[in-house]
Amino acid sequence: MSAKPLPRMQFMLCAGTGCIASGSLDLKTAMERELKKRNLQDEAVVVMTGCNGFCAMGPIMAVYPDGIFYNQVKPEHAPLIVEEHVLKGRVVPQLLFKEEGKDQIPLMKDIGFFGLQRVIVLRNRGLIDAESIDDYIARDGYAALGKVLQEMSPEDVIEEIKKSGLRGRGGGGFPTGLKWEECRKYSSFPKYTVCNGDEGDPGAFMDRSVMEGDPHSVLEGMAISGYAIGAEKGFIYVRAEYPLAIARLQKAIDDAKDYGLLGANILDKGFDFDIEIYPGAGAFVCGESTALMYSIEGKRGMPRIKPPRSAEAGLWNQPTNLNNVETFANINPIILNGSDWFSSIGTEGSKGTKVFALTGAVTNVGLVEVPMGTSLKQLIFDIGGGIPKKRKFKAAQMGGPSGGCIPADMVDVAIDYESLIEAGAMMGSGGVVVMDNSTCMVDTARFFVDFCVDESCGKCIPCREGLKVMLEKLTDIVEGRGEEGDVEFLMELGQHINDTSHCGLGKSAASPVLSTIRYFRHEYDAHIREKHCPALVCPSLIDFVVMEEKCKKCGLCYRNCPSDAIIWEKKQVARIDTTKCTRCRTCIQNCKFGAIR
């Protein structure tokens, strides 16, 4: 211990991809320059952390020991922060987070977004330097690995994970302990444990955040699973679009090897385990377990028929355990706090917490972790801050392109594996796309089918051809060529695709269509029968006519129209010249009174 005084103040600056994009690296430079200028560089330090989850408000910077939370901080704020906060100990009010209708409340724990969450997976977010192994160790990192190697047999570990009730966080929800137990049974060596970091759902960024912000928690979970199943080698499959995650994971692996927490004879306990990163090219299908393993083997990523299951014959036909990033990040707290603690959180069938990427029409876009059983309403309104622009909540798409939508009247549904499937959606990996009343559900379904057509590997016919036919039919409907019977056709075809496709991608690819038909059939009917898009999204199905009784004669449409297609004078109802109109919808987006149909 040196007697050099430690910094008395720490600025925990978010260095997740979101905040880096909004300028946190420039802010770091500016802060450090300013601290140096005032000779305070030893008293206050800037620490780069992983994603805090509050991406909409980035770059965000928490100040400790005060627990003050600044958001949307720009480099030009650095002199002010240093002068006021570091030098004089005064909070800078204009950078504090502000919730509508409330006074400024500076403490992080008092902000609804943070206060209502329960963090297990994200336990270290904002509190550690993502690139410091010592920071991770300081918060009980690798203590679980130490405990396992010192006190527990592989069977004990499996039993503990089974008792905890932890289920796979990648989407399927298979009990993790059972998976490990199955893999342990086979006596063919070598065995492998693989981390699925091929996060591909549109709008999902849970796993990226964990890999970037707390990479060691993934490594530790993998090492423990390796010990439990009898593997000495692990792979992390990360998509190449996540360069920061790859860099931080690689640094974490190197540091862990230096400390002997990976490699030969870990912690001097005779257990060998090594991890290698495999950057994937970003095909959605490679998130499917067997396709992922082919991809690591250097083959084309296509799913194969199961059985044999990967636990018996996975990578290079050897017994292989595959878990998702978030699943691995849960292992350390379960081992340290015990299965009873973990299973006390959540619901009967779904234990622990779940991380969600909250995106779309919601005020607090970001990353949140809540106990299983939290209602969708709490997630969107209490934590997410509700729907912006005074619009109404319409539906939430859960589980990405494989999931389904949950309509507004079911907003009280509890978030757990069973309730969501019952509602026609699924937990998936945790993407939640919130939609307001300006969203067309037919168009949304078409978007997801379009995504799956692009991402289908082409191996089996229902997915490859069936989805194409579905996309054509949906395109017909949104472009005004829909006919009576189309919806029935989509339902039948969708059911066939779900029933007969080969892998998980195909088996669920029609779900967005089936669930939007289930809850928003009237919108399909309006598109087909009335040739009208009720949400005014599909340009072919909008009349572009001003409704005289609703028009307040304000001229906003006139001023914003890029093609001079609006005829308007003061105190006159606007009219649209359809010969000039390009159907760009600018007038609709600008009209405050919903007067254009």
Partner 1 sequence: MAKISIDDLKKIKERERSKMVLRDGEFRVKITVHMGTCGIAAGARDVMSVFRDLIAAKGTHDVILTNSGCAGLCSKEPMATVELSDQPPVKYVLLDREKAARIFEEHVMGGKAVEDYALARGSETTASG
* Residues binding partner 1 (CB under 8 A): 1-6, 8-10, 12, 43, 64-68, 86-91, 106, 127, 134-135, 137-140, 142-143, 146, 149-150, 258-261, 265, 267-269
Copy the structure tokens of residue 304.
């194969």
Q: Are 546 and 596 in contact (CB under 8 A)?
A: yes
Whole-number minimum distance, CB 49 to partner 1, in Å? 10
Whole-number minimum distance, CB 209 to partner 1, in Å? 19
Residue type, 41: Q
Classify burial at 336, counting beta carbons within 10 Å of its beta carbon; exposed 0-12, middle 13-18, buried 19 or more: middle
Nearest to 391 by CA among 349, 424, 438: 438
Whole-number minimum distance, CB 151 to partner 1, in Å? 10
Q: Are 333 and 311 in contact (CB under 8 A)?
A: no
Nearest to 400 by CA among 438, 368, 360: 360
Whole-number minimum distance, CB 177 to partner 1, in Å? 25
Which long-range contacts (C-beta less than 8 Å, at least 24 apart) are formed by 174-180?
A: 176/323, 176/327, 179/311, 179/321, 179/323, 180/225, 180/228, 180/229, 180/321
Count of CB atoms situated within 10 Å of the CB of 314: 25
Nearest to 277 by CA among 329, 320, 222: 222
Which lies closer to partner 1 via its Cβ, residue 6 or residue 305? 6
Q: Are 234 and 275 in contact (CB under 8 A)?
A: yes
Whole-number minimum distance, CB 266 to partner 1, in Å? 9
Distance CA 596, CA 589 (A): 10
Distance CA 553, CA 533 (A): 24
Which lies closer to partner 1 via its Cβ, residue 135 or residue 198? 135
Per-residue three-class SS string for 171-197: CCCCEHHHHHHHHHHCCCCCCEEEEEE
Which lies closer to partner 1 via its Cβ, residue 269 or residue 529? 269
Q: 511-529 and 441-455 helices cross at what angle (nearest 10)?
A: 130
Whole-number minimum distance, CB 52 to partner 1, in Å? 13
Whole-number minimum distance, CB 225 to partner 1, in Å? 19
Whole-number minimum distance, CB 90 to partner 1, in Å? 4
Which lies closer to partner 1 via its Cβ, residue 56 or residue 149? 149
Which lies closer to partner 1 via its Cβ, residue 115 or residue 260? 260
Classify burial at 227, counting beta carbons within 10 Å of its beta carbon; exposed 0-12, middle 13-18, buried 19 or more: buried
Whole-number minimum distance, CB 334 to partner 1, in Å? 18
Distance CA 593, CA 266 (A): 67
Which lies closer to partner 1 via its Cβ, residue 34 or residue 135? 135
Whole-number minimum distance, CB 375 to partner 1, in Å? 29
Dihedral sign computed on CA atoms, order 436, 438, 439, 442: positive
Which lies closer to partner 1 via its Cβ, residue 259 or residue 447? 259
Whole-number minimum distance, CB 364 to partner 1, in Å? 23
Which lies closer to partner 1 via its Cβ, residue 226 or residue 462? 226
Which lies closer to partner 1 via its Cβ, residue 134 or residue 548? 134
Which lies closer to partner 1 via its Cβ, residue 134 or residue 472? 134
Distance CA 363, CA 365 (A): 6
The angle subtended at Cα 165 by Cα 179 and Cα 154, nearest 5°, is 50
Which lies closer to partner 1 via its Cβ, residue 160 or residue 255? 255
